[in-house]
């Protein structure tokens, strides 16, 4: 097995499309394995960190919270495959999205009706206590 490449935090940020501030936050939050420190005090990351940050980004893109992503990483860190846990989390996320979509469809219909009513302006029928009769 060959030696893995090492990089400083700025190089890792560039390689993963994130900021050094975010990487420090990930490390402090237990999402990113702590980097070794060089004699100069600089963080020294291995190539594995690129994969870890990529996983965090993919988890966020799937709508998972950082706490959920941390749980997945902890399961993997204990030597277990987190696949069933991930499946469960994604199922919960799908259910939440379906509920949000249903709520948005109801809201859209309400706004559509209000908009249609507002298309026939009758300012003289609005009393001051109503503010605007269309809402």
Using alpha carbons only, how large is the chain's radius of gyration in Å?
25
The continuous run of DSSP H or E covering 38 comes out as: none
Please tell me whether residues 53 and 76 are part of one structural domain. Answer: yes
Domain span including residue 21:
1-80
Per-residue confidence (pLDDT) for residue 4, from 0 to 100: 62
How far is the C-alpha of 67 from the C-alpha of 30, rounded, in Å? 10
- 1, 56: one domain: yes
Q: Is 114 helix (H, G, I), strand (E, B) or coil?
A: helix
pLDDT of 98? 98
Looking at the structure of the chain, the number of domains it has is 2
Do 44 and 94 fall into the same domain?
A: no
Helices 20-28 and 48-61, packing angle to 10 deg: 90
> pLDDT of the chain along its 135 residues, tens only?
445 678 999 999 999 999 999 999 999 999 999 889 988 888 899 989 999 999 999 999 999 999 999 999 999 999 999 999 999 999 999 999 999 999 999 999 999 999 998 887 777 777 777 788 778
Q: Are residues 31 and 7 in the same domain?
A: yes
**Are residues 54 and 7 part of one domain?**
yes
pLDDT value at residue 3:
52
């Amino acid at each position: 097995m060959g030696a893995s490449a090492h990089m400083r935090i700025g190089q890792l940020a560039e390689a993963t499309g994130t900021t050094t501030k975010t990487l420090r936050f990930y490390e402090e939050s237990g999402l990113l394995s702590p980097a070794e420190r060089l004699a100069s005090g600089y963080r020294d990351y291995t190539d594995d960190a690129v994969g870890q940050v990529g996983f965090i980004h993919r988890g966020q893109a799937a709508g998972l919270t950082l706490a959920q992503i941390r749980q997945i990483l902890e399961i993997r860190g204990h030597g277990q495959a987190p696949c069933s846990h991930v499946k469960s989390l994604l199922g919960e996320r799908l259910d939440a999205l379906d509920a949000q979509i249903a709520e948005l469809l109801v809201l859209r219909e309400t706004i559509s009706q209000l908009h249609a009513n507002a298309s026939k302006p009758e300012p003289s029928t609005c009393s001051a206590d109503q503010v605007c009769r269309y809402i």
